[in-house]
């Protein structure tokens, strides 16, 4: 059939959706797309709400973001030295990507040790939702800067609550009120400005206010009611991974569900193995590690990527099978780039009802044009599809923009700007579409046009033929069959049908068979007799009228 259709293909080659549909059509079948081909026996999402079992509280996981030089590293250093060293002899000796800070109350907070939103969004783009809370750090002697805005937009896009830490409040030039005002101008209303976003003044150098910050983090996390199931196979995300000369591949994992134990069969990305050793941030050997506890895992045969999901499998055999299947998928994916964010993909998703929002990231050459585009796009309204500009700023398109777009399934719009070479490369590997424009009007028109396509088309039913039931036969194998005469038009196998009895609808649905004598046929014309089986309907009677219905879709515009 493929050859007849002019598609040159070999027997073990995968076909794209359109071709599959056409081929299946030839045989009278319809194809339903399955979104993800991942193996069902392992739940790949790091979204853990659906796991059954007793839930126990877990400690929050926090990421620090903010503009360069506003004090991210200083804050993480202060916490590590002042708050951790107290309890542990020797303190944290090595950077493993995360560490937990014990509080006096006996509670703990886990901090991700890679500051900045690039790491945060890169993990998200790989499907990991690790962070529970974000600290946006802003230097009080400075202003809200481009990366501050990015940090805010990235946490909003990820729907992770933020806490504002106004840093460097020890400096005489510090002006926290100015920062709060600037935040308000950006729609971030802090608590003492009548908003909901908690805000503290700190000094990452002297440690002033840091206890308050920790307390706020605990309070905020209590509101989130963070829990995890311990009695299930362990699952988590890779925070960091490297090849160690002496120890081989070493991965830092943040367990999100279950308890990981030495000896467990594991898989992450395409690598499978067995846990050989578990180490905490002090270099201590552990026998097991539970939710929200960062731990170094030895025993994988290769280095997975940060953001990869990590899971324990039932047996080593299962891990191995899975890993082989993944390697195969990966090879095919590399060739064909299955996951991509292009305008037409998004269009498809929205049509399928899987998305009600078209997300955009806008980068422009000057403030004025960026604002104008964001405003114009935000102004496109429709009850089904909404355009939401999740981030807009001035400057070249960077890696971080691409990651944000990939993680949020957004398209990237450039207006009179260059794309950094590294960002271009990343956009190709992530399959993110970058659309460049020179005229504002064009941007808006094109998005509008795309949206018109995005709008689920309106459907209309056309009756293309009717048949009258003359006789019924019962068949033990296929259920009742109606012997019919086509009165007008055509009865088409693939169309929906409606059954009318005395003018009232008694059934609507699909045909299960359409036959002329003993042969299955695709259509029967006016004046001919045929046998009709109805899917899931046996109560067919003499005198019923069967209508063959064609559904016509018309595109709507805004």
| CA 350 – CA 361 distance, rounded (Å) | 18
Instruction: Tell the smallest beta-carbon distance from residue 269 to ligand GDP (Å).
Output: 29
Interacting residue with ligand GDP among 55, 58, 72, 391 (CB under 6 A): 72
CA pair distance 165, 146, nearest whole angstrom: 17
Query: Which among 210, 48, 258, 250 has a CA at the least distance from the CA of 132?
Result: 48
Residues 99-158 interacting with ligand GDP (rule: CB under 6 A): 115
Between 93 and 206, CB nearer to ligand GDP: 206
How is residue 81 annotated by DSSP?
I
Closest CA to 310 of 362, 379, 341, 264: 264
H or E element in which residue 505 lies = strand 504-516
Contacts of residue 4, Cβ cutoff 8 Å, sequence gap at least 6:
none
Q: Which CB atom, from 169 or from 369, has the smaller least distance to ligand GDP?
A: 169
**Smallest distance, ligand GDP to C-beta of residue 78, A:** 8
How many residues bind ligand GDP (CB under 6 A)? The answer is 16
Q: If binding is defined by CB under 6 A, does position 176 make contact with ligand GDP? A: no
Q: How far is the CB of 214 from ligand GDP (least distance, A)?
A: 16
* Least distance (Å) between residue 277 CB and ligand GDP: 32
- Whole-angstrom distance, CA of residue 313 vs CA of residue 323: 11
Q: Which is nearer to ligand GDP, 74 or 369 (CB)?
A: 74
Tokens of 551: 């559904």
- Give the Cα-Cα-Cα angle 257, 261, 263 (nearest 5 degrees): 135
Q: Crossing angle, helix 399-408 and helix 117-125, to 10 degrees? A: 40
Q: Is 217 exposed, middle or buried (0-12, 13-18, 19+ CB in 10 A)?
A: buried
CB closer to ligand GDP out of 43 and 113: 113
Q: C-beta of 120: minimal distance to ligand GDP in Å? A: 14
The angle formed by the CA atoms of residues 518, 521 and 525, to the nearest 5 degrees, is 110
Cβ at position 109, least distance to ligand GDP in Å: 19
List the x/- string, 205-224, binding to ligand GDP by CB under 6 A.
x-------------------
CB of 94 to ligand GDP, least distance (A): 19
Q: How far is the CB of 360 from ligand GDP (least distance, A)?
A: 28
**Cβ 77 to ligand GDP shortest distance, Å:** 7
The residue from 31, 56, 68, 449 that contacts ligand GDP (CB under 6 A) is: 68
Of 116 and 533, the one with the shorter C-beta distance to ligand GDP is: 116
Per CB under 6 A, the segment of 11-19, 198-206, 438-446, 477-485 that binds ligand GDP is: 198-206
- Supply the minimum distance, in Å, between the C-beta of residue 202 and ligand GDP: 7
Structure token pair of residue 133: 């809370």
Q: Which of 51, 171, 218, 380 contacts ligand GDP by CB under 6 A? A: 171
Closer Cβ to ligand GDP, 79 or 434, answer by number: 79
Which CB atom, from 213 or from 486, has the smaller least distance to ligand GDP?
A: 213
Handedness of CA 516, 522, 527, 530 (dihedral sign): positive
391 lies in the binding site for ligand GDP (CB under 6 A): no
Q: Are 245 and 259 in contact (CB under 8 A)?
A: no
The HSE-up count of residue 205 (CA atoms within 13 Å, CB side) is 8
Nearest by Cα to 410 from 484, 512, 342: 342
CA distances from 221 to 131, 227, 253 (A): 11, 10, 21
119 alpha-carbon distance from chain centroid:
16
Q: Distance between CA atoms of 484 and 469, rounded to whole angstroms?
A: 4
Q: Which two tokens stand for residue 202?
A: 């700190």
Residue closer to ligand GDP by CB (options 167, 490) is 167
Candidates 80, 168, 180, 391; binder of ligand GDP (CB under 6 A) is: 168
Q: How far is the CB of 403 from ligand GDP (least distance, A)?
A: 19
Measured from the CB of residue 207, what is the shortest distance to ligand GDP in angstroms?
A: 9
Among 110, 201, 203, 257, binds ligand GDP (CB under 6 A): 203
Residue 276: both structure tokens together: 């050989």
| Nearest partner of 403 among 77, 133, 127, judged by Cα | 127
Q: What is the DSSP string of 20-36?
A: HHHHHHHTT------S-
Instruction: Report phi then psi at 82, rounded to 5.
Output: -75, -35
Q: Helix 440-454 and helix 367-378: axis angle, to 10°?
A: 30
Minimum Å distance from CB 74 to ligand GDP? 3
The residue range among 203-211, 302-310, 362-370, 424-432 that interacts with ligand GDP, by the rule CB under 6 A, is 203-211
The backbone torsions φ and ψ at residue 376, rounded to the nearest 5 degrees and listed phi first, read: -60, -45
Q: How far is the CB of 2 from ligand GDP (least distance, A)?
A: 57
Query: For the purposes of burial, counting CB atoms within 10 Å of the CB of 304, is it exposed (0-12), middle (13-18) or buried (19 or more)?
Result: buried
Alpha-helical regions (H) of 79-204 = 117-125, 146-158, 176-185
Q: Does 69 bind ligand GDP (CB under 6 A)?
A: yes
- Exactly one of 23, 46, 48, 66 binds ligand GDP (CB under 6 A); that residue is 66
Cβ closest to ligand GDP, residue 184 vs residue 205: 205
Length of the chain equals 558
Closer residue to ligand GDP in complex, CB, 70/391: 70
Task: Give the residue, chosen from 23, 112, 204, 228, that forms a contact with ligand GDP under the rule CB under 6 A.
Answer: 204
**Interface with ligand GDP by CB under 6 A: which range of 165-173, 316-324, 432-440, 495-503?**
165-173
Task: Out of 46, 74, 155, 513, name the contact with ligand GDP by CB under 6 A.
Answer: 74
> Footprint of ligand GDP on this chain (CB under 6 A)?
66, 68-74, 115, 167-168, 170-171, 203-205
């Amino acid at each position: 059939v493929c050859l007849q259709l002019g598609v040159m293909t070999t027997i073990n080659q995968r076909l794209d959706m359109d071709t599959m549909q056409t081929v299946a059509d030839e045989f009278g079948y319809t194809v339903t797309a399955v979104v993800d081909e991942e193996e069902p026996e392992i739940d790949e999402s790091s979204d853990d709400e659906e796991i059954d079992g007793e839930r126990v509280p877990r400690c929050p996981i926090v990421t620090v973001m903010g503009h360069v030089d506003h004090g991210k590293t200083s804050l993480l250093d202060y916490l590590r030295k002042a708050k951790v060293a107290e309890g542990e002899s020797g303190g944290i000796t090595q950077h493993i990507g995360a560490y937990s800070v014990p509080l006096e109350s006996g509670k703990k907070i886990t901090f991700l040790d890679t500051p900045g939103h690039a790491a945060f969004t890169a993990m998200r783009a790989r499907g990991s939702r690790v962070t529970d809370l974000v600290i946006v750090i802003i230097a009080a002697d400075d202003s809200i800067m481009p990366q501050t805005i990015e940090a805010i937009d990235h946490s909003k896009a990820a729907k992770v609550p933020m806490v504002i830490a106004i840093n460097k409040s020890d400096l005489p030039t510090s002006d926290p009120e100015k920062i709060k005002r600037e935040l308000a101008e950006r729609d971030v209303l802090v608590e003492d400005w009548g908003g909901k976003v908690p805000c503290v003044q700190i000094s990452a150098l002297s440690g002033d206010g840091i206890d308050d910050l920790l307390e706020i983090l605990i309070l905020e996390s209590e509101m989130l009611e963070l829990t995890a199931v311990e009695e299930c196979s362990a699952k988590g995300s890779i925070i960091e991974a490297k090849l160690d000369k002496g120890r081989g591949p070493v991965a830092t994992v943040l367990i999100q569900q279950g308890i990981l134990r030495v000896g467990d069969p594991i898989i992450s990305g395409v690598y499978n193995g067995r846990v050989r050793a578990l180490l905490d941030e002090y270099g201590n050997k552990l026998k097991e590690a539970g939710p929200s506890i960062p731990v170094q895992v030895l025993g994988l045969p290769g280095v997975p990527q940060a953001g990869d999901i990590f899971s324990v499998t039932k047996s080593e055999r299962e891990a191995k099978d899975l890993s082989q299947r993944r390697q195969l998928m990966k090879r095919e994916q590399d060739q064909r780039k299955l996951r991509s964010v292009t305008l037409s993909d998004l269009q498809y998703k929205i049509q399928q009802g899987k998305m009600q929002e078209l997300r955009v990231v806008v980068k422009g050459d000057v403030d004025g044009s960026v604002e104008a585009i964001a405003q114009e796009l935000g102004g496109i309204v429709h009850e089904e599809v909404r355009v939401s500009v999740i981030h807009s700023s001035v400057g070249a398109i960077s890696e971080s923009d691409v990651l944000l777009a990939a993680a949020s399934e957004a398209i990237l719009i450039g207006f009179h700007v260059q794309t950094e070479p590294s960002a271009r490369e990343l956009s190709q590997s992530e399959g993110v579409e970058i659309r460049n424009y020179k005229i504002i009007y064009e941007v808006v028109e094109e998005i509008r046009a795309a949206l018109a396509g995005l709008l689920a088309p309106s459907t209309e039913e056309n009756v293309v033929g009717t048949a009258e039931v003359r006789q019924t036969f019962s068949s033990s194998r296929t259920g009742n069959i109606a012997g019919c005469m086509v009165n007008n038009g055509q009865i088409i196998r693939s169309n929906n049908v409606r059954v009318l009895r005395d003018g009232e609808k008694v059934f609507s649905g699909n045909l299960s068979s359409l036959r002329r004598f003993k042969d299955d046929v695709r259509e029967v014309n006016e004046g001919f007799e045929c046998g009709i089986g109805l899917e899931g309907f046996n109560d067919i009677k003499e005198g019923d009228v069967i209508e063959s219905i064609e559904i016509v879709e018309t595109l709507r515009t805004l």
